[in-house]
């Protein structure tokens, strides 16, 4: 009987020590798992351009021809119509811009969410077809402004190879001399405050460092006309 009592007392003492230790370990492990889980997510500010809808999906992969494997019936993780902050698990996502009218060059883009990701801007550019249609609409006003600013322009040059860029707010053209002894020139215009203005005066070659407010891709394209 005495041995039984001593054994029970020993077990009680053992459990008094062991059980709290086990509980503490379990709490520590579970707490660590919770912390690790939340550390897998990032708060990201998504800057959405005006008048577009963005659907965000987990990485949908690519087809053999490197086109995106996008199924419009797949339910998105997020559907955004304006800029906002969201939480995403670190990894790769597809940001898909609703493009029923087929006007964007790059409606689907791969986005990697990593440790340093904090801001993402979704502002797809128009495709060539959309830009071509806008050019037909804008060209008369653009040429009128050019001829008004440079009265002798059409006497000396032919406006050629003109194009719109990005979302139609940038215009570039090749000024081909009627006299072969005159240098060919380039010009860039910008649509802002509802009017076309000359962003770069007509010149032989346009430098990127000298024009930091103009997208470098626009300068490269115009300079190669």
Per-residue pLDDT tens for 57-73? 988 776 554 455 666 67
Q: Answer yes or no: is pLDDT of 30 > 80.
A: no
What the chain holds in terms of domains, given with CATH numbers, is: 41-122 (2.60.40), 128-223 (no CATH)
**Residue range 86-105: mean pLDDT, rounded:** 88
Per-residue pLDDT tens for 34-44? 444 446 778 88
Q: Answer yes or no: is pLDDT of 115 > 90.
A: no
First to last CA, the chain: 105
Q: Kindly state the percentage of the chain with pLDDT values over 90.
A: 43
pTM: 0.72
Q: Quick one: pLDDT at residue 4?
A: 52
Per-residue pLDDT tens for 130-182? 999 999 999 999 999 999 999 989 899 999 999 999 999 999 999 999 998 88
Q: Are 98 and 53 a contacting pair, CB within 8 Å?
A: yes
CA distances from 106 to 71, 110, 128, 164, 212 (A): 16, 10, 11, 16, 24
């Amino acid at each position: 009987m005495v041995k039984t009592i001593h054994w029970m007392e020993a077990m009680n003492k053992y459990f008094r020590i062991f059980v709290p230790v086990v509980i503490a370990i379990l709490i520590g492990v579970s707490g660590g798992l919770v912390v690790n889980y939340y550390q897998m997510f990032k708060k990201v500010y998504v800057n959405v351009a005006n008048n577009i809808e963005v659907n965000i999906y987990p990485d949908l992969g690519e087809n053999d021809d490197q086109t995106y494997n996008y199924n419009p019936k797949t339910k998105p993780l997020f559907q955004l119509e304006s800029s906002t902050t969201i939480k995403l698990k670190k990894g790769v996502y597809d940001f898909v811009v609703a493009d029923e009218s087929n006007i964007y060059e790059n409606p689907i883009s791969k986005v990697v969410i990593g440790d340093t990701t904090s801001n993402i801007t979704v502002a797809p550019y128009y495709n060539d077809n959309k830009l071509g249609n806008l050019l037909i609409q804008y060209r008369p006003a653009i040429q009128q402004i050019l001829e008004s600013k440079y009265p002798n322009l059409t006497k000396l040059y032919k406006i050629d190879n003109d194009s719109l860029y990005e979302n139609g707010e940038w215009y570039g053209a090749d000024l081909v001399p009627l006299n072969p002894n005159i240098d060919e020139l380039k010009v860039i215009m910008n649509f802002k405050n509802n009017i076309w203005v000359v962003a770069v005066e007509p010149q032989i070659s346009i430098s990127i460092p000298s024009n930091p407010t103009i997208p470098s891709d626009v300068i490269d394209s115009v300079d190669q006309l």
